[in-house]
């Protein structure tokens, strides 16, 4: 049997990390069945947002990098569509794997569906019900251009049903007769796989940051609402600095370049104060193994990231989310994720309550068994008639 050609489209940090779960599962269990090719859109291009993950996670390297870089939504997405289409027509893959909800996901969905390549959407069905979020538009459009949709949670699965997707559809599947699955989350596959390795390989990181195990708070901020809205950025960071001082607890903050750029350009004085505050560890983005170690060893997490929210749950850490809403509603219902928006009072209240031990928190297994990538690949084989 000749190998089936799968094409991954990635572009942003979390997609490279997610694709590593699929890449690993192909290498370990499906290497005879699938030939994997990867197209990198170039949406993320700094080493610490891109190359570092290919190196560290031993992922199939991009066969193509169409190098679009940063631009406005329309321009960036248009350049991606053009570049992806060219590669699709040359490579003619059996199907196209898309991850998450970035502009690279949307561009992949448009390019592939219009040229009649089946789209497989991994992390389908998530909704914030806030269409002012660029990611919400990307999710809805990508789901509706897909043939196989892998929803990581029952809430995501229900969202798809509410939008007219029918679980009872039977093969042959197509864009007009799509198949929806309730799977686990491939990010959980990764966190399970890399948790021990992170301790072994990156254990010295805590010393180099001068922080103690279980005695620091991990913070990430990168969403457009929190970085482009200067008032929100100022409120969040000045509140966090004040809380670090009041509590004498260290905050470790690997900052996305978007956040650092906005601080430097719009809030230079605050940026200077943050750098001078010895309790705050403002550092460049870290590798996935370093991030995993920080998540495992922190006291709790403050973030606006989708992925980091879930990882907080994987490592049984409570989490404050700097947004009004989240797609991962099971975490909020569970009481371990608190939505604090950019509200100083809510941030303060939750900060001090999370500093106290919460022996009563429980972390049920919402995200599968750590073998979601294998499940997805098996279903792709059925779909392609090769199982
Ligand atoms: C993108 C995704 C977001 C995802 C995030 C993951 C969209 C609309 N947004 O947001 O859903 O959560 O990735 O990290 O797709 N920049 C650099 N170096 C880089 C890349 C970006 O400095 O390598 C800076 C540029 O100033 C750029 C800004 O970050 O304008 C935003 O980059 P962009 O890729 O547009 O969005 P993200 O905020 O990274
Ligand atoms: N991450 C990382 N280094 C960092 C910050 C995040 O490796 O400095 C990882 C994190 O562990 C998670 C993913 O990046 O797996 C989340 O990506 P991000 O927060 O950029 O995007 P989102 O998940 O919100 O789309």
For residues 317 and 375, membership in a common domain is answered with: no
CATH of the domain at 279: 3.40.50.2000
For 346, other C-beta atoms within 10 Å of its C-beta total 16
Q: What is the pLDDT of residue 357?
A: 67
Query: Which two structure tokens, joined as six digits, stand for 143?
Result: 């789901």
Residue nearest to atom 3 of ligand 1 (CA): 102
Q: What is the pLDDT of residue 203?
A: 87
Question: Can you give the pLDDT at residue 370?
Answer: 97
376 and 331: one domain?
A: no
Residue that is written with structure tokens 């990390």 in the block: 17
Ligand 1, atom 17: nearest CA belongs to which residue?
A: 257
Q: Give yes or no: residues 196 and 178 share one domain.
A: no
From the first residue on, what is the mean pLDDT of each consecutive set of 10 residues in the chain (387 residues)?
Answer: 93 98 96 97 98 92 97 98 98 98 99 98 98 98 98 98 97 98 98 96 94 97 98 98 98 98 98 98 98 98 98 97 98 97 98 84 96 98 90
Same domain, yes or no, for 165 and 226?
A: no
222 catalytically annotated: yes
pLDDT at 231: 98
Nearest to 139 by CA among 153, 148, 152, 128: 128
Residues 45 and 147 in one domain: yes
pLDDT value of residue 358: 64
Any domain includes 128: yes
Query: Are the C-beta atoms of 17 and 295 separated by less than 8 Å?
Result: no
- Pick the ligand that lies closest to the CA of residue 327: 2
| In a shared domain, residues 99 and 134 | yes
Nearest alpha carbon to residue 359 among 318, 328, 329:
318
Q: Inter-axis angle of helices 288-297 and 306-314, to 10 degrees?
A: 50
10: β partners:
40
Query: What is the pTM for the complete model shown?
Result: 0.98
My answer on whether 202 and 336 are in the same domain is yes
Ligand 1 proximity of 139 Cβ (cutoff 6 Å): no
Whether 127 is in the pocket of ligand 1, judged by its Cβ within 6 Å, is no
pLDDT at 356: 83
- Ligand 2 site: residues with CB under 6 angstroms? 13-14, 17, 220, 222, 254, 285-286, 288, 291, 305-308, 311
Give the structural domain span for 294: 190-355
Residue 44 has a pLDDT of 98
- Would 363 be classed as within a structural domain? no
Domain count for the chain: 2
Q: Ligand 1 centre and the CA of 166: distance in Å?
A: 34
Is residue 294 situated within a structural domain?
A: yes
């Amino acid at each position: 049997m000749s190998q089936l050609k799968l094409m991954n489209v990635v572009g942003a940090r979390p997609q490279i990390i997610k694709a590593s779960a699929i890449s690993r599962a192909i290498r370990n269990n499906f290497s005879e069945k699938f030939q994997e090719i990867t197209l990198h859109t170039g949406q993320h291009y700094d080493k610490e947002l891109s190359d570092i993950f290919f190196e560290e996670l031993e992922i199939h390297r991009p066969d193509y990098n169409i190098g679009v870089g940063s631009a406005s939504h329309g321009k960036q997405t248009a350049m991606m569509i053009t570049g992806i289409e060219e590669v699709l027509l040359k490579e003619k893959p059996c199907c196209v794997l898309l991850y998450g909800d970035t502009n690279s996901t949307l561009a992949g969905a448009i390019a592939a569906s219009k040229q009649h390549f089946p789209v497989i959407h991994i992390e389908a069905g998530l909704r914030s019900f806030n269409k002012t979020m660029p990611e919400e538009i990307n999710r809805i459009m990508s789901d509706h251009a897909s043939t196989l949709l892998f929803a990581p949670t029952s809430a995501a699965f229900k969202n798809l049903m509410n939008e007219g997707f029918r679980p009872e559809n039977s093969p042959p599947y197509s864009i007009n007769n799509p198949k929806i699955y309730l799977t686990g989350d491939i990010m959980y596959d990764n966190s399970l796989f890399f948790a021990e390795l992170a301790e072994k390989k990156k254990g010295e990181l805590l010393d180099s940051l001068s922080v103690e195990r279980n005695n620091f708070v991990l913070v990430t901020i990168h969403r457009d609402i929190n970085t482009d809205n200067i008032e929100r950025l100022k409120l969040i960071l000045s509140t966090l600095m004040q809380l670090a001082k009041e509590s004498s607890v260290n905050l470790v903050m690997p900052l996305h370049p978007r956040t650092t750029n906005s601080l430097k350009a719009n809030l230079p004085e605050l940026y200077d104060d943050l750098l001078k505050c010895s309790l705050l560890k403002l550092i460049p983005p870290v590798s996935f193994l370093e991030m995993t170690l920080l998540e495992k060893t922190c006291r709790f997490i403050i973030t606006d990231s989708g992925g980091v929210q879930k990882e907080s749950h994987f490592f049984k850490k409570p989490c404050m989310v700097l947004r009004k809403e989240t797609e991962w509603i099971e975490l909020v219902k569970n009481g371990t994720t608190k939505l604090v928006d950019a509200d100083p009072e809510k941030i303060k209240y939750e900060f001090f309550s999370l500093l106290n031990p919460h022996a009563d928190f429980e972390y049920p297994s919402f995200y599968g068994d750590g073998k979601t990538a294998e499940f997805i690949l098996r279903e792709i084989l059925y779909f392609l008639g090769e199982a």
